[in-house]
Chains A and B, each alone.
Chain A
């Protein structure tokens, strides 16, 4: 007996359709029994009692559809699953713009002459198989899916390398190819700076900073978050550097990543000498000495990475404004002595990381759900304490819910709660604009901001709310309107992720040394 499970995220069928699918699925050749049910706790409990709860099914959320197939030994499970998938497609609810559905990657490629890139966002269990088919059809791949085994990732990246193709991902959420944003990306000016990034919001931030400084982006190649691990060895980042080195439209290259494995960092930096173009390296917490020795331009922050790239390509005099010292002084004067702490409530992982590092670098103790120091890990259910930075996009918060860029409700509750804590001086929020994000992230947060301020004011306190909007004037909604709405609500709006860290550090430094 073989148990095979498929999870369809946020998939809804009316009960009559579900019953019909379930009945027909049980008649498919090779299927001993098939169950189709929503992924509620009780239904998973029933499967557990039947000895059928696989780890994948255990991870299903209450809005996900679980398909469980119990098949005879030796049955063609793949064929049975294809048949059940067909039943689901046939019963899929109506609606939407007219679309053409292709049964296979090959038929999609054949029907779309000139298509040379496939975006794949299917269940992790099947993602590698689909990506392989795409590569075999000579398509570059952006693999949005996560939960792909690392062995598959290595095999796919080696196959892509051998065929001279890009294998972006798995778990790659951002790319800009030939001025077209894919998945989560911002509308930025075309230009001559190429980016290779192992971090989603990190690469978005660098691209919008380049745009704000007057520069433009030639290509943004995502690698997936695991590419610079010791296992994968930076295959895609090295191929990405080589691709941009060969690209006539790219004059400078920016590399973006969270801290890579040391041996991989060495390998990647060794490519700089062969690029034939300036390479700016922004590895959070990376070594300036190693980058400089390899012939690269070290960037300590995302803003610094963008600034150096723009200076190297289009505007040698590009600069960023200094912090507004008078504003900082005025804010400090409003805070009470017991208001010591910063509470960061973020959507973007790299934005959270960068602000958190700004405080960690001053020697402050910082609690976070993405802390590298396990002694300072804080979970979603824990009470707030000290300086605290939460990445609401982390799995712990998104389990069973949409990403906070789409559904901000948890973050809004937390904002109001933090404002009630008399030890809090600053609350930091980020807002991510662009393709794939919320249509009005600031608008939906304004009532909670007003409530938070009122709550603190009722206790006779000023709480400093800081907002950073990651976006450009070309995004929808436009950056200026979002910033204006925040400022009208009394929020201090910072101009970059880097400045956000610098600003909160300045406020807290005053409070701890006065």
Chain B
């Protein structure tokens, strides 16, 4: 089913958004329209996504009972009103997303409760999966198309190395420089540098992380330099720093860090699907996210002294 003029039913919604709407309506405008996502920019600089049923839940997201938005009568800048009852697009409500018996989505944490050796072993499993299933481009070097791609790739590589070094050394000014150097770097709507930082942020925001420095500095950089990246990317990173990310990312992390789980080969087999689900996000975005998660776990292991 596609969304033509009329109303569609919401299937699930971020519980945080439900709480916010209880305080009063949010007004805004359509920010961007994609086949699978309508983005709404509220007048309080918050981005709300209304996605199709085939996508996963995520922070500030409503999943609607629709296959795609291709035929929906919505275009950028159209006024939008979000209330506790639903979302109305346009002054004549040419499209409504109605909240009925919808389920609430919570960003369930993935505690870093594993032993040091176990954490190191799981990290190696993820590295192997990324190597096999990750796409080239973004944080992963490979066949740059143009001088611009090559220059971005080199800066991404350098930025990751600098950030890792600075975090291990506890060098706060260098961490800040490295975060600023990655923020907004890359051609896409969520630049590769941001996707990497988002993956890293999700890990260090989990209970049991021993890497508080990154979260503190990254939150500060994003707050002080909101103009350095796109609105979508800024919103995603801000949420990740609070441990909230797309369900596919959190699901991967929870499965990876779940106590037990068997031998590495067995675990790799179990994680193949979840890794591919994340890697399938965007062009290189998913791979860059997993790269960030991997770096976050490597740092946790390093900081525990077991690698």
Rounded to whole Å, the gap between the CB of B189 and the closest CB of chain A is 6
B276 within 8 A of A: no
* A43-B185 contact given A62-B229, A443-B27, CB 8 Å threshold: yes
Q: How far is the CA of A16 from the CA of B283 in the complex (A)?
A: 5
* A439-B79 contact given A38-B188, A49-B151, A94-B35, CB 8 Å threshold: yes
A37 within 8 A of B: yes
Q: How far is the CA of A406 from the CA of B35 in the complex (A)?
A: 25
Q: Which of A18-26, A167-175, A268-276 contacts B (4 or more CB under 8 A)?
A: A18-26
B262 within 8 A of A: no
A-B pairs, 10 with minimum CB distance? A96-B75, A40-B184, A37-B187, A95-B33, A15-B188, A42-B185, A35-B148, A12-B32, A94-B70, A15-B282
Q: How far is the CA of A37 from the CA of B148 in the complex (A)?
A: 10
Rounded to whole Å, the gap between the CB of B107 and the closest CB of chain A is 23
Contact code string B162-198 (vs A, CB < 8 Å = 1, else 0): 0000000000000000000111111111110100000
* A14-B282 contact given A40-B184, A94-B70, A95-B75, CB 8 Å threshold: yes
Q: How far is the CA of A41 from the CA of B181 in the complex (A)?
A: 10
B106 within 8 A of A: no
Rounded to whole Å, the gap between the CB of A450 and the closest CB of chain B is 12
Q: How far is the CA of A50 from the CA of B91 in the complex (A)?
A: 47
Rounded to whole Å, the gap between the CB of B136 and the closest CB of chain A is 11
Contact A15 B228 (CB under 8 A): no
Measuring CB to CB, which residues of chain B are less than 8 angstroms from any residue of chain A? 27, 29-35, 38-39, 43-45, 68-77, 79, 91, 137, 145-149, 151-152, 155, 181-191, 193, 227-232, 282-285
Contact A35 B146 (CB under 8 A): yes
Q: How far is the CA of A62 from the CA of B229 in the complex (A)?
A: 6
Q: A41-B227, A93-B33, A406-B29 are known; give 19 further A-B pairs, CB within 8 A.
A: A15-B190, A15-B285, A22-B145, A22-B146, A22-B187, A26-B146, A36-B187, A38-B191, A40-B229, A42-B182, A42-B191, A50-B147, A62-B229, A63-B230, A94-B69, A95-B33, A96-B73, A400-B227, A406-B77
The listed residue (A12, A444, A476) touching B91 by CB distance below 8 A is A476
Rounded to whole Å, the gap between the CB of A8 and the closest CB of chain B is 12
In the complex, chain A residues 358-417 whose Cβ is within 8 Å of any chain B Cβ: 400, 406-409
A88 within 8 A of B: no
Contacts of A357 in B (CB 8 A): none
Rounded to whole Å, the gap between the CB of B37 and the closest CB of chain A is 8
Contact A18 B189 (CB under 8 A): yes
Task: Across the interface, name the chain A residue whose C-beta is closest to B195.
Answer: A15
Rounded to whole Å, the gap between the CB of A401 and the closest CB of chain B is 8
Task: Across the interface, name the chain B residue whose C-beta is closest to A408.
Answer: B43
Contact A95 B74 (CB under 8 A): yes
Q: How far is the CA of A19 from the CA of B283 in the complex (A)?
A: 7
- Can you sample 22 A-B contacts with CB below 8 Å? A10-B76, A12-B32, A14-B34, A18-B188, A26-B146, A33-B147, A40-B228, A42-B155, A42-B186, A42-B193, A43-B152, A43-B187, A63-B231, A93-B34, A94-B68, A94-B70, A94-B71, A95-B73, A95-B75, A409-B45, A444-B43, A476-B91
Measuring CB to CB, which residues of chain A are less than 8 angstroms from any residue of chain B? 10, 12-16, 18-19, 22-23, 26, 33-38, 40-43, 46-47, 49-50, 52, 61-63, 68, 93-97, 400, 406-409, 439-440, 443-444, 476
Q: How far is the CA of A42 from the CA of B178 in the complex (A)?
A: 12
Contacts of A34 in B (CB 8 A): 146
Contacts of B44 in A (CB 8 A): 409
Task: Across the interface, name the chain A residue whose C-beta is closest to B32.
Answer: A12
Contact A15 B189 (CB under 8 A): yes
Contacts of B230 in A (CB 8 A): 38, 40, 62-63
Task: Across the interface, name the chain A residue whose C-beta is closest to B282.
Answer: A15
Contacts of A94 in B (CB 8 A): 33-35, 68-72
Contact B187 A62 (CB under 8 A): no
Task: Across the interface, name the chain A residue whose C-beta is closest to B2.
Answer: A94
Rounded to whole Å, the gap between the CB of A137 and the closest CB of chain B is 27
Contacts of B155 in A (CB 8 A): 42, 46
Q: How far is the CA of A36 from the CA of B186 in the complex (A)?
A: 10
* A23-B145 contact given A14-B282, A50-B151, CB 8 Å threshold: yes
Contacts of A95 in B (CB 8 A): 30, 33, 38, 69-70, 72-76
Contact A42 B145 (CB under 8 A): no
Q: How far is the CA of A34 from the CA of B146 in the complex (A)?
A: 8
Contact B184 A42 (CB under 8 A): yes
Contact A12 B189 (CB under 8 A): yes
Contact A15 B284 (CB under 8 A): yes
Contacts of B79 in A (CB 8 A): 439
Q: How far is the CA of A201 from the CA of B24 in the complex (A)?
A: 32
Rounded to whole Å, the gap between the CB of A148 and the closest CB of chain B is 23
Q: How far is the CA of A408 from the CA of B29 in the complex (A)?
A: 13
Contacts of B71 in A (CB 8 A): 94
Q: How far is the CA of A36 from the CA of B31 in the complex (A)?
A: 20
Contact B187 A18 (CB under 8 A): yes
Rounded to whole Å, the gap between the CB of A24 and the closest CB of chain B is 11
Contact A18 B145 (CB under 8 A): no
Contact B35 A68 (CB under 8 A): no
Q: How far is the CA of A119 from the CA of B272 in the complex (A)?
A: 54
The listed residue (B68, B73, B186) touching A43 by CB distance below 8 A is B186
Q: How far is the CA of A407 from the CA of B283 in the complex (A)?
A: 31
Q: How far is the CA of A12 from the CA of B34 in the complex (A)?
A: 9
Contact B187 A35 (CB under 8 A): yes
The listed residue (B29, B75, B227) touching A62 by CB distance below 8 A is B227
Task: Across the interface, name the chain A residue whose C-beta is closest to B286.
Answer: A15
Q: How far is the CA of A96 from the CA of B79 in the complex (A)?
A: 13
Contacts of A444 in B (CB 8 A): 27, 43
Contact A26 B284 (CB under 8 A): no
Contacts of B68 in A (CB 8 A): 94
Task: Across the interface, name the chain B residue whose C-beta is closest to A64.
Answer: B230
Q: How far is the CA of A14 from the CA of B232 in the complex (A)?
A: 11
Q: How far is the CA of A40 from the CA of B181 in the complex (A)?
A: 11
Most buried by A among B43, B185, B282: B43
The listed residue (B34, B74, B145) touching A26 by CB distance below 8 A is B145
Q: How far is the CA of A324 from the CA of B297 in the complex (A)?
A: 69
Contacts of B190 in A (CB 8 A): 15
Task: Across the interface, name the chain B residue whose C-beta is closest to A10.
Answer: B76
Q: How far is the CA of A37 from the CA of B149 in the complex (A)?
A: 10
Q: How far is the CA of A19 from the CA of B136 in the complex (A)?
A: 12
Contact B33 A439 (CB under 8 A): no
Contact B185 A46 (CB under 8 A): yes
Contact B148 A47 (CB under 8 A): yes
Q: How far is the CA of A35 from the CA of B79 in the complex (A)?
A: 33
Contact A42 B228 (CB under 8 A): yes
Rounded to whole Å, the gap between the CB of A333 and the closest CB of chain B is 35
Rounded to whole Å, the gap between the CB of A408 and the closest CB of chain B is 7
Contact A15 B283 (CB under 8 A): yes
Task: Across the interface, name the chain A residue whose C-beta is closest to B74.
Answer: A95
